[in-house]
Structures are given as structure tokens and as C-alpha cells.
Structure 1
Amino acid sequence: MADNQEHLYFLNSLYRDTILPQILGQDTEQILYWAGKHVSRKYDLSNVAELPEFFDMAEFGKLEILKERKRSAAFELSGQVVQDRIASGSDEFSLECGIIAECIERQNGNPTEAAASVNEKKQTVEITVQTD
């Protein structure tokens, strides 16, 4: 099983961190954010409680809800996949941000944006969400 997970991680990393940025260039972040919103709609993610399981299945890492308020939320993304991406120099997590933003927007019906910041010391990513 570990070999299969390593293989999947390699393929995901190859596409996500090598090929897509080469194709998309300076628009990578915006396009992946939009793609994340599309993924959220395609998989009918409209409840925040569904996100941790989805992130686990997609092998994006372990997603934990840190705070949830009426107009904002904070999430932490962690795990080996996240550590490996950070170690390889990848600080691009806009796909994940788009998925979360769209899910929350569908849940509450208000425009929602999300942004990621890498915590290199903890080897985690904090995703902050703001709703209008």
C-alpha cells in the first residue's frame, strides 16, 4: 500500500507542482483557485463537515477546522503530503482554497474567499476564509 501511495503522491506532485505551473505560467494560482471551486461544485460539497473526508480521499492532506464563525473560518492542512510539498518548495495551495471557499459559499449562500499561508516551522498550511 505504501508503494501505491508514494506512486500517487509522485503523480499528483508531477502534475500539480511541475506540469501545471509550466503550462499555466503566472496564472497558475488563479486558475487552480477557479478549478477548486469547480471541483467543489462537481462533487456537491456544500457542508464544511464533508471537507476533511474529501481532502483525505483526494490525498490533499489532513484538513482540520480550527475556528468557525459567522463570517470567517480557519482551517489547518497538515500531514505527510503537505510536508513533502512544502519541503519541495511548493507554497501553492489555491486549489484547496477554492474547494473550501466554494463549499462554504454553497453552505451559507454568501460570496466567500479563501487564502492560504504556509507555516514552514510547523510544516502546515493555514487556510483563512472570509464571507461577505
Structure 2
Amino acid sequence: MQNNNEQSEHVYFVNQLYRDFLLPQILGDDTEAILYWAGKQIARKYDLASYEDINSFFTITEFGSLSKSKEKKATITFELSGQNVTDRLNSGSHEFSLEAGIIAEAIQKETGRTTECELAINDKKQIVQLTARLD
């Protein structure tokens, strides 16, 4: 029987295999756009319609720990961190478009305003900053 640490390593390996190796090989130059679109589809399928929904989903899928860092009238900034994020960044993966798409769709559902999400990598802090921009 696997302990929790072994299970977590297994989930990370599977995520890395699909997200950081296989999908970019298949999707090529369209990886970012397709994963962003896929994230929006995931948010619709699992009815993610709030920050709390996104946060729970990211925890279950082991995408990382999500926190709100700033909220203004037309933007909401989140920080994604944690061991899986650190491991992905250290392995050279800077592809977080799936997460950005999930956030964009869920915030759009929550606010009723057209929303797009941009991301920025902070290698020094080992975090991904995701900024939802609302129209």
C-alpha cells in the first residue's frame, strides 16, 4: 500500500508526463491556446463558479495552492504555489495555461463579466501569478 507521499509523487509524475511532456509533443505551437481553452471547458464541466470552487479543485488535482493576492475593480490577482509548482518550475515547465483558463471561466461565471487570465512566472519566489482581467 502506498503512503500519502508516494501517492502525491505518483500524481505529480502523471501530471508531468501528460502536461509537460506528452501534450506539448502532440499540440506543438498551439499548446498554450489549446490548454487555455481546455481549462475553460474543465471549469464548465465541473461547474467551477467561484474562487472557493477553483481553490478546492486545484487542491484535489494537486495543481498547487491558490491564494488571492490583490483584488481591484477590473482585476483579481492570484498566486499559485506549493511543491508541485516548484517541481514543475524546476523541471523547466512554465506552462500554466490550463490553470489560467480554469480561473478565467470560473471568475467569469462568478462575476457575469467577460474575463481573461494572464500569467507570469516568478522563478525566484517559485510562484505563478495569474491575473484575471474583467471587462
Q: Indicate whether the TM-score tops 0.5.
A: yes
Given the alignment of the two structures, is residue 88 of structure 1 paired with residue 80 of structure 2, yes or no? no
Measure the CA separation in 1 of the matches of 2:68 and 2:43: 17
Given the alignment of the two structures, is residue 30 of structure 1 paired with residue 33 of structure 2, yes or no? yes
Measure the CA separation in 2 of the matches of 1:67 and 1:54: 20
Given the alignment of the two structures, is residue 13 of structure 1 paired with residue 13 of structure 2, yes or no? no
2:69 equivalent in structure 1: 66
Q: What stretches of structure 2 of length at least 5 have no aligned partner? A: none
Given the alignment of the two structures, is residue 118 of structure 1 paired with residue 124 of structure 2, yes or no? no
Measure the CA separation in 2 of the matches of 1:11 and 1:120: 23
Number of equivalent positions: 132
Percentage of matched positions with identical amino acids = 55
Measure the CA separation in 1 of the matches of 2:92 and 2:47: 32
Shift of 1:69: 2.4
Q: What stretches of structure 1 of length at least 5 have no aligned partner? A: none
Shift of 1:22: 0.2
